[in-house]
Structure 1
């Protein structure tokens, strides 16, 4: 089968950085070939095209869709324009891999789902954490009752914010309404815990702005003062029904942490995901069992299915894993693990969390999705 002809929308850091899409495609060139790139910043697409040997460069999505034959588009635009650009790509009949979140309104998310269904198009939506074998193993362990009835989970999905380090571009927009840490970072934790436990039913949240301004601490914009208009500190409580809860953070206030990225507490044990490959220590997954060996309780670090090779491969792809997953799903005709329904549910949680924080009332969730078998 010929490789997918890919157009990349957005030529910024997510496209070109060391962990970005373009530098990490070499190992899957038999699956996907980038034939075009577009960016609204004058000359940026042309410069990036020259750097990565991409034959066509455009200054708009419309020009790229009209100017070259494509099978799919990878959407790497800023958060506020995801909804509009994803809909345009699908309306043009192209498969889609998009950065998170899917959109910033349920109306846009619903429209994206409708367009994909109408034309039988495949959509893959970041974040990609649930592709990792340790996350899949955690889901299997929970489903098979390895820790008994799940009581609650703690999920850390925050960092200090782009202004806290040497961010290579102007980080202002991360702190403006329409973006913020909930959409930027909280989406990871929500996606992971729902990807393990399944859809949530209600959300309660607290949110606010910790400081009205931020000063960029490093990089080319060091010293710049940013007016913060998006809530930069969001804590959520998810209700999964039957007295199963999860606490998830989405803030720009975690400059350092020693705790695990995710822990799930059950009546018969605990599952710990250390944060690897995202900087954690220790094995990627541990399970505490009340009857680990002969009635003795203790921690176990189980071997992941198929060993370490699948994890190493996925980690090596970095953000190009989205393209890899899209190409595999299109070729096989299978439903993506990173599917639209899950992304839409995560978006509803984030939007309802904002509403819960404003009103002080728990918000019922109406969307759902199904976990893989």
Structure 2
């Protein structure tokens, strides 16, 4: 790879610690600079990592690749500033706050590399499932079910307002992990039909300086739907802040020869289980993916892979699927998903640490 790629990280919030931990162990990359709206937070991150604390413009000028960990509302502005300077960009999910903004990023970024979380699909848990699915272990996939049910973030999050406003909700918050996994397993989605609801008109903050404060709920908190993939497979998606938990697998794939349970798509590891017709449940051996890694491995993949797997193209398609599902829930009609993407290439089993 020659000289190390200088990485600049914009946004030093909670998730940034996971990125800096991963980046410190990736060959050929160096965290060169950090920036944040809060100078004290940027300085603390710089002290912890040995990087420089710079302003946003100086960071973009000094680095080869920008990691965009700002809030979703700022994703587009930061990405476009980096693209205008000719720098590669890797961002946290979602690619942008709206599909139109995401399309602008893709159009403007034609001359640089664009990547976007989630990169959990690059770990051994998901990639092992993908490997055995591609090998035909359960035959041709016919359907999948993806389930995420929680009581919502307000018991532990001190400022959960965003989750209960338009632009939040369980689908746009956690859906990127599940929809990205379904696309990587079964290919792009061509149409969706959905429904949604909200169980409560307000929520109560359970911790922190605002404990006991009541929040109005102005977006739906339970979203469900069916995704039709170009392959013909159907995925059922359930995303909810209106329950307590679920014993359903995070993702279950049904094929003509068996059923496979895919690990939590918000994690990089986990067991893959299969039940073949006439058999019993088996745990499959780890067979693919980046070992022992975490958030930020997508940055390495963006730099080194011939066709980046956690790409801007995939992230735009995932956002399109989710927005289409919400439109369908509002109108009661099936929606065509206008965008598409290439199914990402599998990741061979490898260790970078």
Scaled by the length of structure 2, the TM-score of the pair is 0.88
Does the Cα contact within 8 Å between 2:24 and 2:31 map onto a contact in 1? Answer: no
CA shift for structure 1 position 250: 2.6
> What is the alpha-carbon distance in structure 2 between the residues aligned to residue 276 and residue 323 of structure 1?
18
Bigger mean CA deviation after superposition, 358-367 or 40-49: 40-49
Cα distance in 2 for partners of 1:129, 1:279 equals 5
Q: Is the 8 A contact 1:136 1:196 kept in 2?
A: no
Question: 2:138–2:255: 8 Å Cα contact kept in structure 1?
Answer: yes
Task: Give the CA deviation at 1:337.
Answer: 0.9
Structure 2 counterpart SS, 1:336: coil
Counterparts of residues 223-234 of structure 1 (less than 5 Å): 223-234=212-223
Alpha-carbon contact 2:121-2:265 (below 8 Å) kept: no
C-alpha spacing 1:201/1:49, structure 2 compared with 1 (3 Å): same
217-226 vs 124-133, which deviates more?
A: 217-226
Please say if residues 273 and 285 of structure 1, whose CA atoms lie closer than 8 Å, have aligned partners that are also in contact: yes
- Aligned mates of 1:53, 1:256 — CA distance in 2: 41
Cα RMSD (Å): 2.5
- Once residues 86 and 3 of structure 2 are traced to their aligned partners in structure 1, the CA distance between those partners, rounded to angstroms, is 18
Q: Distance in 1 between matches of 2:109 and 2:153?
A: 33
**1:264 maps to which of 253, 263, 273:** 253
TM-superposed CA distance for 1:254, in Å, is 4.7
Give the secondary structure class of the aligned counterpart of 2:341.
coil
Taking the TM superposition and a 5 Å limit, the aligned residue runs for 1:1-373 are: 1-16=2-17, 20-28=18-26, 30-41=27-38, 43-58=40-55, 61-62=56-57, 64-65=59-60, 68-117=61-110, 119=111, 121-165=112-156, 167=157, 170-240=159-229, 244-275=233-264, 278=267, 284-290=271-277, 296-305=278-287, 312-314=291-293, 318-329=294-305, 334-371=306-343, 372=345
CA distance in 2, matches of 1:221, 1:6: 36
**Unaligned stretches of 5+ in structure 2?**
347-353
Counterparts of 2:153 and 2:133, CA distance in 1: 34
Q: Tell me how far apart the structure 1 counterparts of residues 204 and 66 of structure 2 sit (CA, whole Å).
A: 35
Counterparts in 2 of 1:276 and 1:189: CA distance versus 1, 3 Å: closer
Scaled by the length of structure 1, the TM-score of the pair is 0.84
